[in-house]
Structure 1
């Protein structure tokens, strides 16, 4: 976990400096406070999945940029009592194919609201086990194991597990060419 925290801190700082941005500019672009961004860059704070989504969206980079260190560690352990959501990349980011393929565990009762991705992003969600409720265009839709949905990811959407069991789903996110 320490290596992942260091990787996240170094990646965030590198991306910010590549753009020539101050922490204030990064905060304005991501909607994450300057104080929190500074703590992440110094390795003093482990951001939530929702915060990482905001940062990735604000920087216009794939989500997996922050969670796929070159020398991948053991898969994260998951304790639904401690973590509402765990995201694990299934395939590394491929700049030619331009997609993230993520495996996501959502704890019972958990809700994750996603800020819109960049214009043109298309997301595919397939439930592996359990049930997932998704909010798209202010309407909730229930998906069971084996069911999926494809949608424009450039609008607000949310994931909710209203059941008493952990929900496991995959998210394949296609990013448009700039």
Structure 2
């Protein structure tokens, strides 16, 4: 329970700062005493579901954002990893790599690339995220300053609103890209 309280405290503080609100203003919008909010952000309070809903509404974020740990900006799922659901009717297994957040637009691309210079991409619009699943070959993909080597079946997600790259390391490397625009 102390870990959950610490996570909630950090989430409230993170989302309040992201929204550019003072503790006083957030407390007012959520209908809480400033001292209560201060205790919650310090990790010394034990918020009720109703309090968290009020804070989420005041911050314009889903309830889950206050209780779930923040997801890292770069995620890699190696082939054979991730939650798998199997079919009873066929030899078929589906691995969820990423669910689409509300109000997000997503484009899908199939890419074929050859070894050579990396494809460098300038930052896209704020809030853009890219997802890549490598189909064949080997490649470097991700943030321009910290790309990750991928093998067939590997998945990576990274901010598309920062410089990023894709570089084939073997001939006829293929990948599927999903680009989410906020």
Which range, TM-score by smaller chain?
0.3 to 0.5
- Normalising by structure 2, we get a TM-score of 0.41
| TM-score normalised over the length of structure 1 | 0.42
User: Rg: which structure is higher?
Assistant: 2
